[in-house]
Amino acid sequence: MNVLAIFKKEFRAYFASPIAYVVLTIFALISGFFFYSLLTFFSLNSLQAAMNPALGQGLNASEWIVRPLFRDIAVTMLLLMPAATMRLFSEEKKTGTIELLFSYPIRDWELLLGKFLAALALYAAMLGISLLDVAMLGSFARLEWGLIVSGYIGLLLLGMAFLGLGILASALTENQVVAAVGAFGVLLLLWVIGWSAEAAGPTLGPILSHLSIINHYDSFAKGTIESRDVIYYLNFTLLCLFLTLRSLESKRWRG
């Protein structure tokens, strides 16, 4: 199957270059630092609660460690995902291999889907690293596993949206740096656009809040899965992939 062949090629390419190792290492270091900091803060409060039980009310590892960790992971992905997707199409365009791919009996959607799945597999590996920290925490603390499941589903959907936009940016330019910076800039704008929702008034405010890519993650971080948030991320990802497909078709016809 063409999609599987493209997936294998792109996934191997990640580890044939420094990109995968750099991205995974940076993520492991940053997420590990966040986890250590949250765990230390929780431990200090637990010691104080042991001496003064009144301070222990509401002291919960899921609320104090897991939920903030998910939010920190989302911020980290905002920084790293553009770097993971910047080469997917821009490198092919710069080296001229995109024309070679167009000469093969491969449909544009198969090429796009294979590359997207390869990037998604790398993203899943990053989430797997963070899951090791959560599993270690669960070995000595009582956790709300429903919150953890919904949190990781939300991170997966959020990551798909990040990857979709990153791939679109990569398809629009042959410069990898431009692709990474462009994707990060748009994602950052969509991240902060909801901050001014309250000041934007009753008409524009709800629109800005709905456009915010991080606001839709809040329900997942609280342990609930809202269909509107799932639909938002899926629609956002599909829109980015659709625009990427149109860009590839335009490139094929222009030669």
pLDDT in tens, 72-125: 999 999 999 999 999 889 888 888 787 777 777 888 889 999 999 999 999 999
Distance CA 116, CA 6 (A): 10
Q: What's the pLDDT tens digit per position in 124-180?
A: 999 999 999 999 988 887 888 889 999 999 999 999 999 999 999 999 998 999 999
Confidence of residue 58 (pLDDT cuts 50, 70, 90): low
Output the pTM of the full model: 0.91
Distance CA 134, CA 255 (A): 49
Tokens of 86: 């910047």
Confidence of residue 50 (pLDDT cuts 50, 70, 90): low
Give mean pLDDT, residues 61-82: 91
Mean pLDDT of the chain: 88
